[in-house]
Structures are given as structure tokens and as C-alpha cells.
Amino acid sequence: MTSSLFRAAPLAAAAALSVCGVVHASSHREAPFITTSPKVDATDFYMFRSYEANRTGYVTLIANYQPLQDAYGGPNYFAMDPNALYEIHIDNTGDGQEDITFQFRFRNTLAANGHGVALPVGDRNVAIPLVQAGAVSGVKDANLNIAETFTVGIMRGDRRRGNVALLSNAANGATTFDKPVDNIGVKTIPDYPAYAARHVHAVNIPGCGTPGKVFVGQRKDPFAVNLGTIFDLVNAPVATITDPTLIGAVPNTIDDKNITTLALEVPTSCLVAQGEPVIGGWTTASLRQARLLDPTPKPGHQATEKTGGAWTQVSRLGMPLVNEVLIGLRDKDRFNGSKPKDDAQFATYVTNPTLPKLIEIALALPNAAPTNYPRTDLVTTFLTGIKGVNQPARVVASEMLRLNTAIAPVAFAQQNRLGVVGNLLAGGNDNAGFPNGRRPKDDVVDISLVAVMGGLCMANGDTDALEFGAACKPSAVPLKETAFKLHDAVDQAVVPLLAGFPYLATPVGGTK
């Protein structure tokens, strides 16, 4: 390990420690500013080899936004922000900087050329207060009072330089795509799965000879968490979270919540650099620096503000949980505005981490935290990638998901819910899971619990199947013998999912 890598490495340990029992939500409302702008709040990022039948030559990228959506959240529901820039970044050279960026922009337009649907009331036509005037079933349905559309651009190299080339509909060449309205309920949309499926678009990607797919729309939140209990200083019995038979002991707090998904399926060959199968990925959202509010808004839709100035990044998400429970409160907004290549600036939060002490206090387990600092086993797992699994030939220490596209995907039913660690223990053939990318089924909370409490060292044993260096000294990992019993009492593997793109399940409807 080089000296420069070592200086940046502590962030990786922090990323792993961040999931060690204090909170098991992913990136929902994780920083002060982002709580004021939920439309640009990224909740989860997934990156995996597509495991849908006959699609194994593709990589699926899923960025979820707008957390904790109530299905009954009318009358305006959860349209995306037309004044924001949503991006998915790919680093295919290992230097911590984006080489490919997919940029999503949105537009929300009232029907009738901006006037909206109106009904005759007496001797006047009056605009309706709802987003729908009747049942909805088709793309561009005449009963929709608002059209939600989006574009997807691809930028190569620096995200703010050069020209953006737009993805186009493979069926008709259009560069504007329709987004389905949210799942209002069964009277408005009797068959929401069929309606949403009509908004999965085959796309031509500039610079790529094979078409991909895109879907943007509301989905059921795929993350599982016992939210209130965890934030209440882990208000759960230790006997429960160390008993493997109680892996699903409590219900998923956010089982009735939705999110908005930006999903792309891209040919693997269009993402990787020549000779390097490993890619890194993360998602961001940016707003303009300035906002001017109109004290007397004009008629129209979202006409109360004007924006200007340079794009300013306000949300960032690669590995789950890093900012939410690791970064100190004073630096959470700064982390959301940062880039992976600059992650050494947050090293203090791992050099002297507060989270292990909080865990000891919360669970009344003195001396529970491993003391093998610096935690090079976690540095490898969360910051550089695991050599022989998902570490690129050249690597700059930086926090992001890393995926080895040369490792074959595994069918959903055969996926090990504990990813690489679970596969190592089982002696199986599934190395396509977290932290080698992230699939919706991967229980990232339990995997990270195993890792942070010394489980990687225990799993490796004397085989040295994975390279973690001197971090696995037995005396430095006091709880490693119980590492594989730890869990958060919510089973990620039972969350409903689709068998193919966009993989995330139909959103919860306002009525059933």
C-alpha cells in the first residue's frame, strides 16, 4: 500500500463502521441541507451485472431519490425537480474521477399548452386542482393534467466540460422520454404494473453500438430498516440482534414507502475501459447557486422561482450509509458537495472514530470495538476494492461502489444475501454481490456488520483467499467469533423485487 493510499484509506474504515448498528437506513435525510430539498435527496445507489435472462451482457445502474414517499401524498405527489441536475458517474480508470456521466434533466408541463385541464362550471371554464381528470392507462394519457418528461445526456470526461450528447428512443429517435405519474390508486390507474412497463424505453447511447434501456418512475423503496428503533440508540435487545434465527424478527419500517428511481441498463462494453473490467460508480444531484423567488407567481406550474449560476453539488451517494452515520454533523453538507478524488479530507473521522464508542454505549458492550487500527481489511473492502475481486489495476483511494464486470451474475434465487463474505463462507460461486457492486437483494447492513466486527478476518481464516494485510491480528478483533451472528433483525432478502429491469417493485398505491 502506497503512502498516499494510506493517507486516504481511513475513509473506507469509516464507511464500514458507519453501518455497525447505530442506523440501518441507507442515505435518507442524511445531512442538514438535504432535509430542506427532498427532491434531490439520493437514498440508494445500485450497480450490478444484469441477472435478467438474456441480459447478462449489461450493467444495471439504479439511483433512487426522494425518500419516504407516502403513497397517499397527493394532490401533487412526487415529480422530480426541473431545476436540478441528477447524475450517475462511472470511473473506469481507477483514478477517483468520472470518465462517463449520465445526466438526467426533468420538465413538468401543464396540459392544454400550459393552461391545464379545465371543466365548465356554470358559465366559466375552471382549472382542476388534481394531476388527473380521469382514469389513466397510456403514455401521454389525455386524462393527465401534467406531463412529466425527461432527457438523459452522456458526458465523457469531466462532468462540466465538453458537450452533452442525448440518448434517444430506439423506436422513434426522440430524445425526450415520458415518466409515468406516481401510483395514485386503483381507480385512477387500475393496472399500474402494465402502465409503468409502457415507460421502459429502449435507448440508443451515443458512442455505444448496442442499445440500452432507461426507466424513470416511482418504485417501492427496496431498502429494509427498523428505522425508529435504530435511531433511538439501538433500542433493541442484544440477544435479538445476535441470534441468527431472528433475522426477520421485526417488520420493515419503510415497507409502505416509495422512492423515485432513475434506472439505466447499459452494455458492459460501453462502460469499461480497454483491459480493465472494474468500474466505480456513484450518483449526485446538483442545484443552481442562486434562486430568486417571485412574490407574485404567475399562472403556470412551478413558476415561483428562477434559478441561475453554476451547478452546485448538494447530494452524493456511492457506498450506502457513509454520510448518514459516519461524517460529523458539521461536515455532512461538505461531504455531499465533495468528489471521490478528494476523500482524504475526511480521514479524521476514521483515525479517531466516534461510532464504535457510541455502539459500546448504546448496547452496553464495553471494549466491543475492534482495535486493529488502521483497519486495512475495511480499507480494502470499502475504499480500494478487494484484490482479485473488484480492485482495479490502478486505484486511487476513494469512496464509491466498485464492480468487476468480468464476474458472472447469479440468478436471483441463487444470490447469497451476504454477498462476497457469504459466498466465501458457503464455498459457493456468487462473487457478484456487495461489496462487488450492489444488488437490490444484498443485505448491505448485515454484510457490513460482519465486516466491521472482524468477520472478514474470520472468514478468511488461514486460507488468505482475500488480501487484507495485517489488519486481521486475532487480538485486535475481540468479537470476531460472534461476527457472523450479528444482524439488524430486518431481512433485506424478503423485500419484493421484479425479475428483470428495472428490478424494483411496483410502488405502493394510494388505494388498493
Q: Which three cell numbers stand for residue 98?
A: 468520472
Give the model confidence (pLDDT) of 85-137 as tens digits. Answer: 999 999 999 999 999 999 999 999 999 988 999 999 999 999 999 999 999 99
The stretch 496-502 carries a mean pLDDT of 97
Left, alpha or beta for 493 (phi > 0: left; psi -120 to 50: alpha)? Answer: alpha
Domain assignment of residue 500, yes or no: no
Domain assignment of residue 503, yes or no: no
**Other Cβ atoms within 10 Å of 394 Cβ, number:** 10
Residue type, 461: G
**DSSP letter assigned to residue 112:** H
pLDDT band at 463 (very low <50, low <70, confident <90, very high): very low
pLDDT at 466 over 80: no
Give the model confidence (pLDDT) of 151-189 as tens digits. Answer: 999 999 999 998 899 999 999 999 999 999 999 999 999
Q: How many domains does the chain have?
A: 1
Domain assignment of residue 512, yes or no: no
Domain assignment of residue 349, yes or no: yes
More confident residue, 336 or 65: 65
More confident residue, 115 or 20: 115
> What does the DSSP assignment read for 329-366?
GGGHHHHHT--GGGGGGGTHHHHS-SHHHHHHHHHT-T
Cα-based distances in Å from 385 to 62, 74, 87, 344, 446: 20, 43, 23, 16, 19
Sole residue written with cell 426533468? 106
Give the model confidence (pLDDT) of 211-262 as tens digits. Answer: 999 999 999 999 988 777 666 766 777 788 778 889 888 889 899 999 999 9
**Arithmetic mean of pLDDT over the chain:** 85
The stretch 290-294 carries a mean pLDDT of 91
pLDDT band at 484 (very low <50, low <70, confident <90, very high): low
SS3 309: strand
pTM summary value = 0.91
**Helix/strand/coil (H, E, C) string of 251-307?**
CCCCCCEEEEEEEEEEEHHHCCECCECEEEEEEEEEEEEEEEECCCCCCCCCCCEEE
Domain assignment of residue 44, yes or no: yes
Domain that holds residue 73: 3-493
Q: Which three cell numbers stand for residue 188?
A: 385512477
Instruction: Spell out the residues 6+ positions from residue 119 whose beta carbon is closer than 8 angstroms to its own.
Output: 125, 126, 128, 133
pLDDT band at 353 (very low <50, low <70, confident <90, very high): low
Best CA proximity match to 373, nearest among 19, 15, 10, 11: 10
Domain assignment of residue 508, yes or no: no
